Amino acid sequence: MSEQQLFKVTIDNITIEVPAGTTILNAARQIGGDVTPPAMCYYSKLEGSGGKCRTCLVEVSKGSEKDPRPMPKLIASCRTTVMDGMEVKNITSEKVVDARAGVVEFLLLNHPLDCPICDQAGECHLQDLSYDHGKEGTRYEFERRTFKKHDLGPYIQLHMTRCILCYRCVYTADQLSKERSHGVLDRGDHAQIATFIEKSLDNEFIGNVIDVCPVGALTDKTFRFKNRVWFLKPMDAHRDCPTCSGKVTLWNRGDEVYRVTARKDKWGEVEDWICNTCRFETKNTSDWVIEGPREIDRHSVIAQGHYQGSVGMHKPTETFAAVNAGRAPHLLMDIHSVSEVNKDSSL
Amino acid sequence: MSVKLLLAKAHIEGIRGFEVYRREGGYQSVEKALKQMNPESIVEEVKKSGLRGRGGAGFPAGMKWSFIAKPEGVPRHLVCNADESEPGTFKDRYLMEFLPHLLIEGLIVSSFALGSNDTYIYIRGEYAWIVDILEDAINEAKANGFLGKNILGTGFDCEIHVQRGAGAYICGEETALIESLEGKRGNPRIKPPFPAIQGVWQRPTVVNNVETLAAVVPIINMGGEEYAKIGVGKSTGTKLISACGNINKPGVYEIDMTISVEDFIYSDEYCGGIANGKKLKACIPGGSSVPILPANLLLKTAKGETRYMNYESLSDGGFASGSMMGSGGFIVLDEDQCIVRNTLSLARFYRHESCGQCSPCREGTGWMEKILHNIEYGKGKISDIDLLWDIQRKIEGNTICPLGDAAAWPVAAAIRHFRDEFEWHVNNPLEAQEKNYGLAHYADPIHVPVTA
């Protein structure tokens, strides 16, 4: 029994061998690409997460080598372990594509779609999901449910209206902190994430709920409305932190640190939890040892910004002289003084 | 007069108390089971009896019992699901209220069979007064040596605890019930693992309906094979039906599953016909979640055969032309009832009771209710009917627990069989506010194609 048993599983006609006990989703992640079902609620670092959002539904067309019967229903790939000889259909199954489009429509039913003013835009998993798997329109013609905004302590803003009830933050708070101070109140479509009588969340690691939130329901109050994420340069950095690993991603504009987040892997999952001090209170570039640009290679608008090998490495060259026959530009107005022009003259 | 196993003695004065119940032959099954039988042979008897779960799904009870894991040194539990919240179902309430000792007796035998030393009754919160009745019965049983330590000197210990729910339909789903019993939010768990492996406090657990556990008593008393002779096919034994709606005699009836639906509705022994001399329009034969059937398909199957009150016959034709036995909540609708309105109230119920854990059910149930509300109040569009169909299709089968299916089926069946009534509502919005579509053609005989 010393050697770990390997199961052969075929997902969308690609066969892979994985250790027994691996979930279908994780096996698909090993293959990567379009074969991987999307996951809005599953988070490999959080015990008990998954199974709720239903975006990762797949069809099992063959149960296993021993019992080749197909499973009668679509199943949540994040919570179903593979069997030897299992055959799974993800994007090759019409049923899955149809059901997933349905789930996306359901998730967006009460979502405000306020992306233009949402801080999560550009790195929002719900945006990615709806672009990849949704339909272009909704058939919902009713008023969407809304909640009033809640302040969860000095750093975190809860905007329930955007929430898709993935329960990730509940698991994070449960598993990273000793005291359970927030959870889900009510049920059905009026269920909400809430703290007990608006009690603030107060824990050294509670800031991580912002990172696990797939949508813009939990946002960083030190960063809210400061900048769009795709204008920022993500950079790996570290510091000697007494509380956490100190390994973070800095989001800079120029030399200014706009926000600090944990490092996320290509599935959008946090690699190391970071503490509130690193996240909210250490915002000087001088506090950090910068390792280099952070590559964000999957999902999101931010993945489109290719900073690799350019930002911070070499300065862009001035091209005006080259296209203007060697003449230097004639400076009409120093644009740095534009703000002076706009000043109220009555002052 | 058909066989009565559960309710035969329900009308005897004082049967609620231990003394009368014992005098009438109560607790014989406990003596027989604990002294003459072993757990394996009890499970074997229940298997032989062909008893099917009475809570709605109709899964063979003996089979369910045999799945329970038996790891060394880990306690096992039996949980009685008394969270009877399905609209139209009130049979367990009657059983517990009038024959509490029958349930306790069944629980002791079943606990012995499954090796459960701590057995729980999870009872619907609204049944507050029944908790007292059950606790009195438990105390009486304990005082007479049928519960507690060393029952009847056999060395078997068993305690029964009654736990009240806090008013949620979803807690009737077995894993949500287990969560709630543990003191957590009543969200259904993701299966597997099934409760038989990891149930209450991660221990192997069997969850059974009140009626299922009560039926264990006659099975042990008469033997599984004798029990299996009652009824027909795989529908063995007797079933409690709680009949309600537009009938002359609503109430709880015990049937032996050989009676036809027509006889059940019209005979004086049971429902006594449709109230006020009206005509039968439709019926939901097994509690609110099962598909509604129009009168013609209710009394005869699509093949033109008589439909009987049993598991197989009620589901004959699948969902295309059949329904389900469900939990036995028999809701009868007469010609004055509006199917759209009826569907709206069911949709409202499921929207209110959805736990909100998984997206299709959380969002879809609310959406369906809003659309149905529009149709009922004269603001519907023809395209709404197809939209409803598409929504229910995307909920069904894609959720964590069967509540999603339960919310989808009534809407699906209403559209499937009563589409013209929906269309009438949309096309005659003003008229639909004042009068109903009426019986229309829903009781007309169905043309049965002749096959060679």
Q: Where in chain B is the domain with CATH 3.10.20.600?
A: 235-334
Q: What is the 3-state secondary structure (H, E, C) of chain A?
A: CCCCCEEEEEECCEEEEEECCCEHHHHHHHHCHHHCCCCCCCCCCCCCCCCCCCCCEEEEEECCCCCCCCCCCCEEHHHCECCCCEEEECCCCHHHHHHHHHHHHHHHHCCCCCHHHCCCCCCCHHHHHHHHHCCCCCCCCCCCCCCCCEEECCCEEECHHHCCCCCHHHHHHHHHCCCCCEEEECCHHHCEEEEHHHCCCCCCCCCHHHHHCCCCCEEECCCCCCCCHHHCEEEEEECCCCCCCCEEEEEEECCEEEEEEECECCCCCECCCCCHHHHHHCCCHHHCEEEEECCCCCCCHHHHCCCCCCCCCCCCCCCHHHHCCCCCCCCCCCHHHHHHHCCCCCC
With a pLDDT cut of 70, the percent of chain A lying above it is: 86
**Which two tokens mark A172?**
């994070």
Tell me which residues of chain A, numbers 138 to 157, contact chain B at a CB-CB cutoff of 8 Å: 139-140, 142
CA separation (Å) from B249 to B99, B360, B418, B451?
21, 39, 27, 40
How far apart are alpha carbons A27 and A7 in whole angstroms?
10
For residue A51, count other CB atoms closer than 10 A to its CB. Answer: 23
B382 shares contact with chain A (CB less than 8 Å): no
- For the record, the structure tokens of B39 come out as 């757990």
Q: What local confidence, expressed as pLDDT, does residue A341 receive?
A: 57
Minimum-distance CB partner of A54 among B352, B355, B360: B360
Residue B384, pLDDT > 90, answer yes
Min Cα separation A32/chain B (Å): 24
Cβ atoms of B416 and B343 within 8 Å: the answer is: no
Minimum mean pLDDT range among A182-196, B79-93, B242-256, B420-434: A182-196
CB contact under 8 A, B353 and A188: yes
**Dihedral, CA of residue B293, residue B296, residue B301 and residue B302, to nearest 10:** -100
Sequence-separated (6 or more) residues with CB below 8 Å from residue B324: B56, B58, B285, B286, B290, B291, B314, B315
Across the interface, whether the CB atoms of B363 and A167 are under 8 A apart is answered: no
How many residues in total does chain A contain? Answer: 347
Give the CA dihedral A193, A198, A202, A206, nearest 10 degrees: 20
Predicted local confidence at residue A34, as pLDDT: 86
The whole-number average pLDDT for the span B70-87 is: 95
In A, minimum Cα distance to B391 occurs at A102
> Tell me: the pLDDT tens digits for A200-234?
667 888 899 999 999 999 999 999 999 998 888 88
Q: According to the model, what pLDDT value does residue A204 have?
A: 86
Find the mean pLDDT for residues B17-23.
96
pLDDT at B153 over 70: yes
State the amino acid at position B371 in one-letter form: I
Q: Can you tell me the distance from the alpha carbon of B280 to that of B294, in angstroms, rounded to the nearest whole number?
A: 9
Amino acid at B319: F
Instruction: Please give the pLDDT value at position B452.
Output: 67
Is residue A314's pLDDT more than 70? no
* Gap from A108 CA to chain B (nearest CA, Å): 9
Cβ burial, residue A276 (10 Å; 0-12/13-18/19+): buried
pLDDT band at A1 (very low <50, low <70, confident <90, very high): very low
Q: What is the pLDDT of residue B33?
A: 96
Inspect the interface and report whether the beta carbons of B356 and A186 lie closer than 8 Å: yes
In chain B, CATH 1.20.1440.230 covers: 339-434
Q: Out of B168, B353, B387, name the one closest to residue A139 (CB).
A: B387
> pLDDT tens-digit profile of A56-82?
999 999 999 999 999 999 999 999 999
Which residues of chain A lie closer than 8 angstroms to B185, CB-CB? Answer: 183-184
- Given this model, what pLDDT does residue A305 score? 63
Residue A344 has pLDDT above 70, yes or no: no
CA distance A289 to A250: 10
Position A324 scores a pLDDT of 79
Across the interface, of B190, B352, B365, the residue whose CB is closest to A76 is B190
Sorting pLDDT into bands at 50, 70 and 90, what band is A298? low
- Alpha-carbon dihedral of residues A4, A6, A7, A13, nearest 10 degrees? 150
Using a CB-CB cut-off of 8 Å, the residues of chain B touching A188 are: 351-356, 362, 365-366
Lowest mean pLDDT among A6-20, A163-177, A186-200: A186-200
Residue A53 CB partners (closer than 8 Å, separation 6+): A39, A40, A41, A42, A103, A107, A164, A166, B358, B359
Nearest CA-CA distance, residue B350 and chain A, Å: 9
Please indicate whether, in this complex, the C-beta atoms of B358 and A54 are within 8 angstroms of each other: yes
- How far does CA B207 lie from the centroid of its chain? 13
| Residue A52 near residue A41 (C-beta atoms within 8 A) | yes
pLDDT of residue B194 exceeding 90, the answer is yes
- Give the closest of A106, A142, A187 to B364, CB-based: A106
What mean pLDDT do residues A186-190 have? 85
Q: Which amino acid is at B50?
A: G
Asked if the model's pLDDT at residue A2 lies above 70, the reply is no
- Residue B400 in contact with partner chain A when CB distance is under 8 A: yes
Q: Name the CATH code of domain B235-334 (choices 3.40.50.150, 3.70.10.10, 3.10.20.600, 3.40.50.970).
A: 3.10.20.600
Domain with CATH 3.40.50.11540 in chain B: 18-229
Would the CB atoms of B355 and A79 count as touching at under 8 Å?
A: no
Which token pair is B3? Answer: 């066989």
Who has greater pLDDT, B59 or A306? B59
Instruction: Please say if the pLDDT value at position B146 is more than 60.
Output: yes
CATH of B18-229, one of 3.40.50.11540, 3.30.365.10, 1.10.357.10, 3.50.50.60: 3.40.50.11540
pLDDT in tens, A227-259: 998 888 889 999 999 999 999 999 988 888 999
Q: Is B359 at the interface with chain A, CB within 8 A?
A: yes
Q: How confident is the model at residue B297 (pLDDT cuts 50, 70, 90)?
A: very high
Cα radius of gyration rounded to whole Å, chain A: 24
Q: What domains are defined for chain A?
A: 6-102 (3.10.20.740), 111-137+145-220 (3.30.70.20)
Residue from A211, A218, A166 nearest A55 by CA: A166
- How far from B353 is each of A51, B27, B109, B255, B400, CA to CA, in Å? 19, 38, 34, 31, 14
**The pLDDT value given to residue A182:** 76
CA B100/CA B222 separation, integer angstroms = 20
Tell me what pLDDT residue A231 has.
86
B376 Cα to chain A: minimum distance (Å): 16
Confidence of residue B137 (pLDDT cuts 50, 70, 90): very high
Domain B339-434, CATH? 1.20.1440.230
SS3 assignment for chain B:
CCCCCCCCCCCCCCCCCHHHHHHCCCCHHHHHHHHHCCHHHHHHHHHHHCCECCCCCCCEHHHHHHCCCCCCCCCEEEEEEECCCCCCCCHHHHHHHHCHHHHHHHHHHHHHHHCEEEEEEEECCCCHHHHHHHHHHHHHHHHCCCCEEEECCCCEEEEEEEEECCCCHHHHCHHHHHHHHCCCCCCCCCCCCCCCCCCHHHCCEEEEEHHHHHHHHHHHHHCHHHHHHCEECCEECCEEEEEEECECCCEEEEECCCCEHHHHHHCCCCCCCEHHHCCEEEEEECECCCCCEEHHHHHECCCCCECECCHHHHCCCHHHHCCCCCCCEEEEEECCCCHHHHHHHHHHHHHHHCCCCCHHHHHHHHHHHHHHHHHHCCCCCHHHHHHHHHHHHHHCCCCCCCHHHHHHHHHHHHHHHHHHHHHHHHHCHHHHHHCCCCCCCCCCCCCCCCCC
Is the distance from CB of B217 to CB of B29 less than 8 angstroms? Answer: yes
Cβ B357–A52 below 8 Å, yes or no?
Answer: yes
Determine the residue among A58, A96, A139 to mutate to test chain B binding: the one whose Cβ has the most chain B Cβ atoms within 10 Å. A139
Phi-psi category of A304—alpha, beta or left, where left has phi over 0 and alpha has psi -120 to 50?
alpha
Measured in residues, chain B has a length of: 452
| pLDDT higher than 90, residue A342 | no
pLDDT tens digits, A135-176: 888 899 999 999 988 888 889 999 999 999 999 988 888 888
Question: How many residue pairs bridge chain A and chain B with CB atoms within 8 Å of each other?
Answer: 88
Is the peptide bond between B192 and the residue preceding it cis, with omega within 30 degrees of 0? yes
Q: Name chain B contacts of A79, Cβ cutoff 8 Å.
A: 190
Higher pLDDT, B221 or A341: B221
Q: What is the pLDDT of residues B257-280, one digit of tens each?
A: 999 999 999 999 999 999 999 999
